[in-house]
Amino acid sequence: MFTDKEKFKIEFKQRLIGNSGRQMHEVSEDDVYAALGSMIRERIGQDWAATNRAYTEHGERQVYYFSMEFLMGRLLGNNLLNLGVLELVREGLGELGWDLEDIEEYEADAGLGNGGLGRLAACFLDSLASLGYSGHGNGIRYRYGLFEQKIIDGHQVELPDYWLQKGNVWEVRRGDKKVNVRFWGNVESHEQNGRLVYETKNGEDVWAVPYDVPIVGYENSAVNTLRLWSAESAADPTRGFGGNYYNFLDYKRSVETVSEFLYPDDSQYEGKLLRLKQEYFLCSAGLQSVLRTFDKLRLPHDRLADKVAIHINDTHPTLVIPELMRILMDEKGFGWEDAWSIVTRTVSYTNHTILSEALETWPEQMIRELLPRVHMIIEELNKRFCASLLEQYPGDQERVSRMAIIEGGQIKMAHLAIHGSHSINGVAALHTDILKKREMKDFYELYPERFNNKTNGITHRRWLMHANPELENLLEETIGSAWKKQPDQLNELLKHTGDAVVQEKIRSVKRKNKERLAAYIHKKHGATVDPNSIFDVQVKRLHAYKRQLLNALHIMDLYNRIKENPALDLTPRTFIFGAKAAPGYYMAKQIIKLINNIADTVNNDPQTKDLLNVFFLENYSVSLAEKIVPAADVSEQISTAGKEASGTGNMKFMMNGALTIGTLDGANVEMYESLGDEGMYLFGLRIEEVEQYYREGGYSAQGIYNSDDRVKKVLDQLIQGPFCQNGQSFDSIYHSLLSHNDEYFVLRDFADYAQAQEQIGIDYRNTKLWTEKAILNIAKSGRFAGDRTIGEYASDIWGIKPVGVGSRLTTR
Ligand code: 26V
């Protein structure tokens, strides 16, 4: 295995020729990627085996993070970084005539997630491995990830994301570890040793085949596992099916659809049978695999919770609770009480959303048919739970109905998750507070000790070191490298806030990143972007509560003001958007079209084009985010207060020295605690005010329209005017604001937002002041590193300590 650059070059050339079957002068960049990938994968393999051995010998509790989504992005650059060979490989490849950054572009993003929840899971895996915790991911290997977005005539068009087309060097198919998952069928019972034993007969069996992806820790030789399950037909094609080969093909197709695609909707819950199948598939396969690993320890199953922690990422994998009950009772012979005790000590749950329309409830009938034995268990759980509630709250039938797991023919997954977990956490202080005081109040009263907060965090390895190597170097020069292993050490930078030399370097790093993004925009849009302008960025899923519309209306207003007063003294701005809308979310798609129309108008109007530019960058993804985030001056985190559970983009921008314009929502609240008014531009309604409006009414969007001429003009322009090219109009947006009284208080916050934006324009010109603020942001961002978050999960929820592996055995 190579240890220096020269050895790398020799080994790499051999591999390249051997892999591609071509001569050096014939190989393509694709070949280079494949050869490098396989070489690095092999290197990881050694540590992977050693890590697994260490975990088995050590007997430390293993954490399994069950999630329907892992938004991993690309792995090559990150693996090189964490292995500590990034520079060596970059230089070696360079000497052979290839640019590593170009080679990295050959890797398809693993886009197996919708947004925040899936990316959080990916950041957590990186922190778990990097801190040396025995924590693994358990998910689904969707054949198609989140759709690829094209913008055609300003509209979003969705294309399938066949990310596996060119193969995936990082995964290892483990055919020998496949397990069986059973759907449908009927439950039969018989007596055995004096107790009833249940079995599902005549079900449809699906093989779950694991594909393992190594998760490399940062310079610590640890390699954990992300196990992704793929559905395959269990049947032997040569047998059964009444001799009809077409019957077999139909069956095969139906089975394989289980892991075919990721559901692209993260805002509106829909009770689709296939989605339920996916959720059970993950839970059943994951649990079987967890139990197999546990069995290697040769311990009785009542010790399960000592050795295993199962964490469920939102309610999507909640079926682990009844499924583990089923296995313990039907297969391991436990009685109800003992099984329940094992389950609740094993499982913990994170809630990621307050939006009621995203809460999962499954029709009881659907679960009864698809998963008959699981249904029986949920029914029994509900019966016992309601009975215990009545005992605790005698006569309070209303409370019992509110809290029941099954109500009105619906199974409430959040209730099941809370009842079956020993820990329930929200993802930012404000969010956890809302859960306790409002959304889950009844449950908090019942189980106060179970509720806790774990403010989200992001991996500084991908989002600072890998995405922004110039900033990494500058930090290293200025404060050394302790922050790489202890990100809170970034606060050492505070000592240099006023240092003119450091300030100049910070500006130069930002400048280079802006030039790089400008080059990308030039390539994609053919447009020239001025790197002296403020890069003002809003990238995230498109959703009404995130209020991209507020940003858009404000740009329309700026346009109007320049047109009214061409001498207006505005600091030039480049507004950058990136967002995918759920394919069926009409309003979100209209907002994308509106932004593109605005771009068309302001970018081409000779009076405005030097002051205002707008770009909607298509197909926002992890790898695109890595280009955008380091180049941002301003980060837009402008959700209606109380709606964004945490946000994680906010943290990425902060860490890269962008200043936030934001509401007091989600983790912005904690950012503001750290940054104060000098470090952040706060605006808008506070959560108490929003709640008061919802409770007592008194908000009139029409009133604002009538009294604010600027707002009126902008809204009228949704129907007719410079942004309605080719007779297009935005009636539905207009009516959502006026006829439906503006559910998200866009108009209410408009003036305050515009004012904060004006202040940004002024402050940006004061380069010294602006740079000091940027430095403050970077210095305070360590609190939002995933390592801090994972440390808290490990000690407070999972009760685990780091395990030393390889050459770095920690003593305990
Ligand atoms: C919800 C649903 C509901 C319908 C079925 C399909 C589906 C798929 C995904 C989701 C996820 C929505 C929840 C989510 O992504 N929440 C985000 O979690 C982030 C990480 O904690 C947090 O920073 C964001 O504020 C929060 O919106």
Handedness of CA 384, 185, 333, 281 (dihedral sign): negative
Q: How far is the CA of 117 from the centre of ligand 1 (A)?
A: 5
| Residues 434 and 384: beta-carbon distance below 8 Å | no
* Residue in 794, 791, 803, 810 with CA at minimum distance from that of residue 52: 803
Model confidence at 316: pLDDT above 50: yes
Strands (E), 399-551: 406-407, 410-412, 423-426, 451-453, 534-539
Q: Which active-site residues does the annotation give?
A: 352, 540-541, 546, 648, 652
User: What percentage of the chain's residues is helix, strand, coil (to nearest 5)?
Assistant: 55, 15, 30
Query: Bridge-partner residues for 662, per DSSP?
Result: 637, 682
Model confidence at 236: pLDDT above 90: no
pLDDT score of 241: 72
Per-chain mean pLDDT for the chain? 96
| Residues 531 and 511: beta-carbon distance below 8 Å | yes
Query: Bridge-partner residues for 158, per DSSP?
Result: 149
Structure tokens at 146: 């989140």
Q: Is 160 exposed, middle or buried (0-12, 13-18, 19+ CB in 10 A)?
A: exposed
* Mean pLDDT within 235-242: 67
Model confidence at 582: pLDDT above 60: yes
* Residue in 452, 485, 466, 409 with CA at minimum distance from that of residue 219: 485
Query: Bridge-partner residues for 335, per DSSP?
Result: none
pLDDT grade for 583, boundaries at 50, 70 and 90: very high
| Residues 63 and 800: beta-carbon distance below 8 Å | yes
* Residue ranges per structural domain of the chain: 1-58+82-108, 529-791
* Residue in 514, 507, 540, 538 with CA at minimum distance from that of residue 528: 514
Q: What angle do CA 515, 521, 525 make, to 5 degrees?
A: 150
Query: When comparing pLDDT for 376 and 357, which is higher?
Result: 376
Which of 147, 261, 266, 543 to mutate to test ligand 1, by most ligand atoms within 8 A of the CB atom?
266
What is the amino acid identity at position 138? N
pLDDT score of 234: 79
pLDDT score of 237: 62
CATH architecture of 529-791: 3-Layer(aba) Sandwich (3.40)
pLDDT grade for 804, boundaries at 50, 70 and 90: confident
* Residue in 174, 167, 220, 230 with CA at minimum distance from that of residue 37: 167
DSSP strand pairing (534-539 vs 634-637) = parallel
Residue 431 alpha carbon, nearest atom of ligand 1: 25
| Residues 206 and 231: beta-carbon distance below 8 Å | yes
Nearest residue (CA) to ligand 1, atom 10:
266
Q: How far is the CA of 645 from the centre of ligand 1 (A)?
A: 9
Measured torsion, CA atoms of residues 504, 505, 507, 511, in degrees rounded to the nearest 10: 130
Structure tokens at 480: 């050394």
State CA 63 to chain mean position distance.
19
Helix (H) or strand (E) holding 145: strand 145-152
pLDDT score of 239: 65
Question: 476-480: long-range contacts (C-beta < 8 A, 24 or more apart)?
Answer: 477/505, 478/502, 478/505
pLDDT in tens, 157-211: 999 999 999 999 999 999 999 999 999 999 999 998 888 899 999 999 999 999 9
pLDDT in tens, 700-709: 999 999 999 9
pLDDT in tens, 259-313: 999 999 987 788 899 999 999 999 999 999 999 999 999 999 999 999 999 999 9
pLDDT in tens, 537-579: 999 999 999 999 999 999 999 999 999 999 999 999 999 999 9
What is the amino acid identity at position 560? N
Q: What angle do CA 63, 121, 794 make, to 5 degrees?
A: 35
* Mean pLDDT within 493-514: 98
Count CB neighbours of 400 within 10 A. 19
* Mean pLDDT within 330-358: 95
Nearest residue (CA) to ligand 1, atom 4:
269
pLDDT score of 247: 82
Q: Is 198 exposed, middle or buried (0-12, 13-18, 19+ CB in 10 A)?
A: middle
* Mean pLDDT within 205-229: 98
| Residues 153 and 241: beta-carbon distance below 8 Å | no
pLDDT grade for 806, boundaries at 50, 70 and 90: low
pLDDT in tens, 744-773: 999 999 999 999 999 999 999 999 999 999
pLDDT score of 355: 87
DSSP state of 524: H
Residues contacting ligand 1 via CB (< 6 Å):
114-117, 120, 263, 265-266, 269, 314, 352-353, 358, 427, 456, 644-648, 666
pLDDT grade for 28, boundaries at 50, 70 and 90: very high
Q: How far is the CA of 667 from the centre of ligand 1 (A)?
A: 15
Residue 456 alpha carbon, nearest atom of ligand 1: 21
Q: Which residues contact 600 (CB under 8 A, 6 or more apart)?
A: 154, 725
- The alpha helices in 656-783, defined as continuous H runs, are 668-679, 687-696, 701-707, 709-716, 731-737, 746-765, 767-780
Q: How far is the CA of 266 from the centre of ligand 1 (A)?
A: 6
Q: How far is the CA of 225 from the centre of ligand 1 (A)?
A: 23
